[in-house]
A and B are shown apart, each in its own frame.
Chain A
Amino acid sequence: MCGIAGVIDRNGIDLNILYRMSAVIRHRGPDDEGFLTVDTNKKFYLNRGDDSIPEVHSHQHIISNFSEQKIQVALLHRRLSIIDLSAHGHQPMNYNGNKTYIVFNGEVYNYREIKSELAAKGYSFSSDSDTEVILASYREWGFDCVKKFMGMWAFAIYDHEKNIVFISRDRFGIKPLYYFYKDGKLVFASEIKAILEDKNIVPELNTETAYQYIAFSKANNPYETLFKNIVELPVGHNMVVNLSDFSINLSSYYNLEDAVATTASSNIKDYFAEYQSRFSESISMHLRADVPIGTCLSGGLDSSAIIGFAAPQLLNTTFNSFTAIYDDKKIDESFFANQVVNHFQNIKPYYTKPNFNDYWKDLDKLIWHQDLPIASTSMYAQWEVMKLAGKQGMKVLLDGQGADETLGGYSVFTGVYLFSLLKKMRLAKFYHEQKCLKKNRGIKISNEVMRGAFYLVPSSLKKSARAQKRVGTTFLTEEFTLQNSNVKDKGVIGTNYRDMSIVSTKYGMHDLLRYEDRNSMAFSIESRVPFLDHRLVELSIAMPDDVKLHNGWTKYVLRKTIDKKIPDSVVWRTDKKGFVTPQKNWITDLKPQLTFLFERSKNAFNAQ
Chain B
Amino acid sequence: MLNRNKILNSLDGTLDNATKVSEFWKMVAFIKWNEVYHVKS
Contact = CB atoms under 8 A, between A and B. Distances in A.
B22 A376 contact: yes
B24 A607 contact: no
B1 A607 contact: yes
A368 B34 CA distance: 10
Contacts of B37: 193, 196, 203, 227, 368
Interface string B1-41: 11110111011010100111111111111111111111111
A487 to B, nearest CB: 13
A372 to B, nearest CB: 7
A364 B33 CA distance: 8
B32 A605 contact: no
A588 B15 CA distance: 11
A474 B39 CA distance: 22
A433 B11 CA distance: 43
Given A367-B33, A591-B11, A583 B41 contact: no
B3 A583 contact: no
B24 to A, nearest CB: 6
A367 B32 contact: yes
A473 to B, nearest CB: 9
B13 to A, nearest CB: 6
Contact of A205 (B10, B35, B40): B40
Given A598-B7, A605-B1, A214 B27 contact: yes
A245 interface: no
A43 to B, nearest CB: 37
B26 A205 contact: no
Given A368-B36, A475-B2, A476-B3, A598 B25 contact: no
A349 to B, nearest CB: 29
Contacts of B13: 587-588
A477 B28 CA distance: 15
Contacts of A193: 37
B7 A475 contact: yes
A594 B29 contact: no
By CB atoms of chain A within 10 A, which of B2, B21, B24, B33 has the most? B33
Interface residues of A, number: 46
A213 B25 CA distance: 13
Contacts of B34: 205, 601, 603-604, 607
A607 B41 CA distance: 5
Contact of B33 (A372, A591, A594): A372
A597 interface: yes
B5 to A, nearest CB: 9
Interface string A292-303: 000000000000
Contact of A603 (B22, B27, B29, B35): B35
- Looking at chain B's contact residues, the main secondary structure is helix
A213 B11 contact: no
B21 A375 contact: no
B37 to A, nearest CB: 5
A363 interface: yes
A270 interface: no
A495 interface: no
A476 B2 contact: yes
Contacts of A364: 32, 35-36
A210 B35 CA distance: 15
A485 B19 CA distance: 21
Interface string A177-211: 00000000000000001001000001111010010
A285 to B, nearest CB: 35
A476 B30 CA distance: 12
Interface in A549-608: 583-584, 587-588, 591, 594-595, 597-599, 601, 603-608
A601 B6 CA distance: 15
Contacts of A474: 6, 20, 23
A367 B29 contact: yes
A377 B29 CA distance: 9
Nearest to A369: B36
Contacts of A373: 26, 29-30, 32-33
Contact of B26 (A203, A214, A608): A214
Contacts of A318: none
Given A203-B39, A591-B11, A210 B30 contact: yes
A597 B32 CA distance: 8
Contacts of A376: 22, 25-26
Contact of B8 (A203, A205, A377, A598): A598
Contact of A374 (B15, B18, B29, B35): B29
A588 B24 CA distance: 12
A431 interface: no
A52 B2 CA distance: 46
Contacts of A608: 1, 41
A217 interface: yes
Given A203-B39, A607-B41, 4 more contacts: A374-B26, A475-B7, A597-B28, A608-B41
Ranked nearest first, the 10 interchain pairs of A and B with the lowest CB-CB distance are: A607-B41, A603-B34, A607-B1, A373-B29, A373-B33, A604-B31, A604-B34, A472-B23, A374-B29, A205-B41
5 contacts: A373-B30, A480-B2, A583-B22, A598-B4, A603-B35
Interface of A: 193, 196, 202-205, 207, 210, 213-214, 217, 226-227, 363-364, 367-368, 372-377, 472, 474-477, 480, 583-584, 587-588, 591, 594-595, 597-599, 601, 603-608
Interface of B: 1-4, 6-8, 10-11, 13, 15, 18-41
